[in-house]
Chains A and B, each alone.
Chain A
Amino acid sequence: MKRRVKGKQRRRRLFVTSLFAFLLVLVTVLFLAPTLWMVSTSLKPKAEVFEPKVRWIPKTPTMDNYVRAFALLPLVTLTLVLTCFCDILAAYAFARLRFRGRELLYALVLFTIMVPIYSSAVPLYRVIRAMGLIDTKTGIVLPQAAEAIGVFLLTQFFRSIPKELSEAAKMDGANEWTILWRIVVPLAKPAVAVLLILTFANTWNSFFWPLIVAQSNASITFPVGMGSVMSGFHEGAEAREYGLVMATSVIACLPTVVAFLILQRRFVEGISMSGLKG
């Protein structure tokens, strides 16, 4: 009797496990397929792209699209360094230093997270124009470095680091700067990893703001370049070079995907510890 119950239980568990495994495979395939289709299309010569038969592995693979797309690749890493530096300093002040008006200032920073870039686009455009930064990379990058999400993330994380550590260091004669860079930042690696991924993805991927600032090709960033390749699509059939567009897309994705794959082990951990999830 008891054995039969056990057998039933085991069978049920096996069923549940295989159901989960099946779902897992299904989800993976569904989510990966579009990306793989992009890679596949990017490797096809023009004639093959519009073949009515769906062919996942190109008949005559070509790197042609990549050679042409590479010319569009820009450099947007300045923000990353700038953002991380400014955010770390500010977060340290909010988490560890005592000064008047700290709570008020922090509330102000948090408030702006809720305000979309669109709700300040016109004045921002005028500020950038007044500084003569229209059509420059600096003009694209600076407003993005002002985003508050990184400060929030790091402050939450810094708060969770035991105060005793920095007090011990202070006894040994360390000042706040040393404590920040030698003790707090090394302990905050998971949070910094999350910040790096998010900032990198946000900067590399942001679209609305570069679209406004970049008016000639000289300062165009990748997403805007993509956008303008696409806007050619509105005009007619001759511009429909999906192979080239997909190659550009693959290249465009590479940095963030690589960054994500490198940092992903720390990712869930970092979000969990920083209290980003609220």
Chain B
Amino acid sequence: MKKRINLNVMESPLWFLLPYFFLFSVFKLGPIIANFVVSGYDLDIVGKGSFIGFKNYVTLLKDRLFWVALKNTLYYLSLVGPVNVVGGLFLALLLNQHIKGRTVARTAVFMPYVIMVTVVGVLWRWILESRYGILNYYLGFFGIKPIPWLTSPSTAMIGIFIASVWWTIGYNTVIFLAGLQDVPRELIEASQIDGASPLRRLISVILPCLRPTTFFVVLTTIIYSLQVFGQVYTMTGGGPRYATLTVVQYLYVVGFRLFKLGYSATISAVLFAVILVMSLGVLKFLRQTVD
């Protein structure tokens, strides 16, 4: 006797999928696809405009500010990326030790991540303030002269980098911590019996087990770093002299301050392409080195 599936109409998968897919298609997938269409138009504030093909893309190639923004974004990634991945792993290893008070430390490291980005920006702007900020105050003890963290083009990105690491590294730490829980106990014990040093154990046992975790962390770090915006918006607004202008900050100003919607969509499309290419590149590179 053949069993009949979905005898009850209410049990059809359709009803389970409908609520989410309504939201998904209208607010997520639809706009993603439409963005490529919009990037071919010369749209202004009222949304009126004509089709101009790839003209926006040509303009973009010659747009000096866009290249500055792209360069700054990659610079930011080169600062944050290594620190967030290696530092996140280091913190996870530290917080995984059986020492009293590690719960407090875990909470301390992860808590910044649940703080909203505007608060992070505002708080660090206050800490990095050149005259009244506490960082310069304490650096003064070591004889270091006040550093104009956010007001000088050469240090502004470093200031944003410091705030960003404090804010986001806890996320990577938690992911690595979760990965560490899955390292088979037997392997650790076996290496202990063999008399392997802790460093040796880290390199030969723990790191190989963490490979999938590391994939995930590297990928998300790249994806999110390329989208840096909130810190920049609240801490420097892209200045001084475009030193911290990032791609998203630029597309925000172009689209929603100057209301060149079509051109803004073009910048978004290019950002998306950059993210996609870099992610796939990293994925391929990591796969190759593993095999």
Residues of A participating in the B interface, judged by any CB pair closer than 8 Å: 16-17, 20-21, 23-25, 27-28, 31-32, 34-35, 37-38, 41, 49-50, 52, 54, 85-87, 89-90, 92-93, 97-99, 105, 108-109, 112, 114-116, 118-127, 129, 142-143, 145-148, 151, 175-177, 197, 201, 204-205, 207-208, 211-212, 222-224, 226-227, 229-230, 233-234, 242, 245-246, 249, 252-253, 256-257, 259-261, 264, 267-269, 271-272, 276-278
Contact = CB atoms under 8 A, between A and B. Distances in A.
Nearest 5 CB-CB pairs, A to B?
A278-B216, A205-B116, A120-B31, A123-B34, A90-B20
B168 to A, nearest CB: 12
Contacts of B102: 24
B223 interface: yes
Contact of B213 (A32, A177, A278): A278
B279 interface: yes
Q: Is the interface of A mostly helix, strand, loop or mixed?
A: helix
Contacts of A85: 19
Given A20-B99, A120-B34, A175-B8, A93 B13 contact: yes
Interface in B90-135: 91, 94-95, 97, 99-102, 104-119, 121-127, 132, 134
Given A112-B29, A205-B117, A267-B174, 4 more contacts: A37-B123, A146-B20, A177-B10, A264-B107
Interface in B189-226: 198, 212-213, 215-217, 219, 223, 226
User: Which of A27, A49, A142: most chain B Cβ within 10 A?
Assistant: A27
A49 B19 CA distance: 50
B27 A119 contact: no
Interface residues of B, number: 101
Contacts of A127: 26-27, 30-31
Given A118-B268, A277-B212, A90 B122 contact: no
Interface in B111-167: 111-119, 121-127, 132, 134, 137-138, 166
Contacts of A233: 125
Contacts of A278: 212-213, 215-216, 219
A90 B272 contact: no
B269 interface: yes
Contact of B27 (A93, A142, A271, A277): A142
Given A201-B113, A246-B126, A252-B116, A122 B11 contact: no
Given A122-B38, A246-B123, A277-B178, A260 B229 contact: no
Given A227-B234, A277-B216, A27 B118 contact: no
A172 B106 CA distance: 44
25 contacts: A23-B94, A24-B94, A38-B119, A87-B20, A105-B17, A118-B251, A122-B255, A125-B256, A129-B47, A145-B23, A146-B23, A205-B115, A205-B117, A207-B118, A207-B233, A208-B248, A223-B119, A242-B126, A246-B122, A252-B118, A253-B119, A264-B106, A271-B174, A276-B178, A277-B179
Contacts of A93: 13, 16-17
A230 B234 CA distance: 7
A208 B19 contact: no
Contacts of B91: 27
Nearest to B117: A207
A268 B174 contact: yes
A175 B227 CA distance: 44
B291 interface: no
Contacts of B248: 116, 118, 208
A118 B178 contact: no
A20 B27 CA distance: 48
A74 to B, nearest CB: 12
Contact of A112 (B32, B114, B227, B229): B32
Contacts of A211: 233, 252, 256
B275 interface: yes
Nearest to A225: B118
Contact of B109 (A27, A105, A142, A249): A27
Contacts of B20: 86-87, 89-90, 146, 151
Interface string B247-291: 010011001100001101100110110011001000000000000
A254 to B, nearest CB: 10
A31 B111 contact: yes
B177 interface: yes
Contacts of A147: 28
Nearest to B29: A112
B21 interface: yes
B127 A142 contact: no
A249 to B, nearest CB: 4
Contacts of A249: 119, 122-123
A34 B38 contact: no
